[in-house]
Amino acid sequence: MARGKIYFGQVTEDAIVEFNNETDARVRNTIYNERIRVPIEKLVENIIHTFKFYYFDVPTEDVKHEVVSNLILNMHKYVQHKGKAFSYFSIVAKNYLILHNNNNYKKMKSHKEIGTADFERNIGREKEKDEQTEGIMEFTTQFCEFLENNISSIFHRKKDMDVAYSLLYLMQNRDNIENFNKKYLYLQIREMTRSNTQHITRVVTEIKKYLKSLKEEFRIGGQINTKFTGSLLEA
């Protein structure tokens, strides 16, 4: 436990409090990426390996990202005077892992009872699925870089940029953009920016115009130009 205090101590706790109190989406994004991301990821990684949460049908790295995403969703619930942030987020992470670990253990046991051959074929399909996921994760990383560089060029009103930066924040903390649920996204963005659904839809629709073009660019060349050209939508 002493080692935990080194990577996740008072400095991280203060950053979380600052993150929760901040209303500007861009500032929140910076606080998280520069002061919270690494300690949170390390905390989750240590819990997974210390308590051997290995009964998952996806790679451990994907499990880590999933748990980190859950912690981000619960970050606003942390109240400093009720206890240490390290203890709070350790409990939240363990509870999440216990629930999903047990569910996956039962599923894997059921598969074995059906037949080892079927289970091995499932592993082959999972490998193919993992390769597809890696491609999606790489595109998401590059698309996030594109947005980070160009939001202020695409949008000119602060309230539009706040929504765009909130979407960027959520994307940067999910390992697979296809896992995004529209209802979940809109709920989180409304909470972060106090914008209504109609306004969020307008901003997301504008971003989707770039998403379609960049997906095609990535499909053809394996990478995208993250710098704004000013002619992307005219092509």
92 and 61 belong to one structural domain:
yes
Does some domain include residue 151?
yes
147 and 101 belong to one structural domain:
no
Range of the domain at 168: 134-221
Report angle CA 170, 175, 179 to the nearest 5 degrees. 75
Which of 68, 86, 114 terminates a domain? The answer is 114
Which of 114, 144, 172 terminates a domain? The answer is 114
Q: Select from 45, 26, 27 the least CA-distant residue to 89.
A: 45
Nearest-angstrom CA–CA distance, 235 and 219: 17
6 and 85 belong to one structural domain:
yes
Residues 173, 72 contacting (CB under 8 angstroms):
yes
Does some domain include residue 120?
no
Per-residue pLDDT of 186-197, as tens digits, reads 887 887 788 899
Nearest-angstrom CA–CA distance, 148 and 68: 21
Nearest-angstrom CA–CA distance, 166 and 190: 9
Least confident piece of the model among 124-133, 140-149, 208-217? 124-133
Nearest-angstrom CA–CA distance, 224 and 217: 6
Residue 225 clears pLDDT 70, i.e. is over it: yes
Per-residue pLDDT of 160-180, as tens digits, reads 999 998 888 877 766 544 445
139 and 103 belong to one structural domain:
no
Query: What pLDDT shows up at residue 106?
Result: 47
18 and 104 belong to one structural domain:
yes
Based on the structure, what is the number of domains in the chain? 2
88 and 170 belong to one structural domain:
no
110 and 158 belong to one structural domain:
no
148 and 207 belong to one structural domain:
yes
13 and 95 belong to one structural domain:
yes
8 and 102 belong to one structural domain:
yes
105 and 145 belong to one structural domain:
no
36 and 93 belong to one structural domain:
yes
| The residue type at 10 | Q
Per-residue pLDDT of 69-108, as tens digits, reads 989 988 988 988 888 898 889 888 888 887 776 555 444 4
Nearest-angstrom CA–CA distance, 20 and 78: 9
Residue 38 clears pLDDT 80, i.e. is over it: yes
Which of 114, 142, 177 terminates a domain? The answer is 114
Terminus-to-terminus CA distance in the chain, angstroms? 56
pTM: predicted TM-score of the whole model, two decimal places: 0.48
